[in-house]
A = this chain, B = another copy of it.
Amino acid sequence: MKTYLDCYPCFLRQALAAARLAEASEPQQKVILDRVLDLLKHIDLASTPPEIGDQVHRLVRQEIESGDPYRAVKEISTRRALALYPRLKALLAEADDPLEMAARLSIAGNIIDFGPVQKYDLWDTVERVLAQPFSVDDRAAFRESLDRVGKGAGTAPLLYLADNAGETVFDRLLIETLPVPVVYVVKGGPVLNDATREDAKAAGLDRVATIVDNGTNAMGTVLNRCSDDFRHLYNGAKMVIAKGQANYETLSDEGSKVFFLLQVKCPVIARDAGVPVGSIILKQG
């Protein structure tokens, strides 16, 4: 997915939010915005938004000399999500269709995102997503694909591409419900509030999946920036679950083995997918 002019204001907003989260001084914030203004003058609109967002967040990290401005926020997100885990597990235990329920919960968790969204109520989001119709609905293909992978189990695991810290807890519930072994893929280094290995372990993902990192701190999954090991794994996978907007933006042209589970949180993606902001999507690539 290409970058739209509508993304410009959003990049500035995100840079400012990241700078403030890292407690950058007002003059530092100004320097950061000035650098983002320069950067935006020279971007290639054929790049995906996460590729530009990446440069923006790298610039912020450089300027405030922090490896991970979102560290504290990520820990809080994980703790809050873990506090809901027993209630979510109880919902699953009572569900007529646990797979559907778990997929919805995983999508609900996608609200934990410090890029496009400023504020959210986690439990309200769960209740909304459980009741909401899918705007893109490839649930049948998703089940078929899971069945096929289940039959060939052992030879090629299901890859699950993580999105944000805290959302990881919701991913764990889906993984606990999936009938096949899962490799849970996190970022190779900090970017925005994306989950790294540390964040995944804090959410207990190491108990239910094999955690690997993709070898890069690029947002989404930019295959040519990932490690050879990850690309090998990706190319061999028969099914990939890709969470969140950035994975959608970077993998939307990658074929039918990828299933995108996300909430549509920005108007640019809404336009690209042809659905309203606030939609929930389970889409086959």
Residue A134 is within 8 A (CB to CB) of chain B in the complex: no
Contact with A16, one of B6, B13, B37 (Cβ below 8 angstroms) = B6
Contact between B5 and A9 (Cβ–Cβ < 8 Å)?
Answer: no
Q: How large is the interface on A (under 10, 10 to 19, 20 to 34, 35 or more residues)?
A: 10 to 19
Q: Which of A11-50 contact B (CB under 8 A)?
A: 12-13, 16, 26, 29-30, 33-34, 37-38, 40-41, 45
CB-CB under 8 A from A9, the residues of chain B are 9-10, 12-13, 16
- Measured in the bound complex, the distance between the Cα atoms of B8 and A37 in whole Å is 10
Question: Per DSSP, are chain A's interface residues mostly helix, strand or loop, or mixed?
Answer: helix
Q: How far is the CB of A40 from chain B (nearest CB, A)?
A: 6
Which chain B residue shows the least CB distance to A30? Answer: B5
CA distance A66 to B8 in the complex (A): 24
Minimum Cβ distance to chain B for residue A18 (Å): 13
Contact in complex: B8, A12 (CB < 8 Å): yes
Which residues from chain B contact A41 at a C-beta distance below 8 Å? Answer: 34, 37-38
Which B residues touch A5, using CB under 8 A?
A: 16, 26, 29-30, 33
A5 to B13, CA, bound (A): 9
Nearest opposing residue in chain B for A8, CB measure: B12
A-B contact pairs, 7 of them (CB 8 A): A5-B26, A5-B29, A5-B30, A9-B9, A12-B12, A33-B40, A37-B38
A: which residues have CB within 8 A of B?
Answer: 5-6, 8-10, 12-13, 16, 26, 29-30, 33-34, 37-38, 40-41, 45
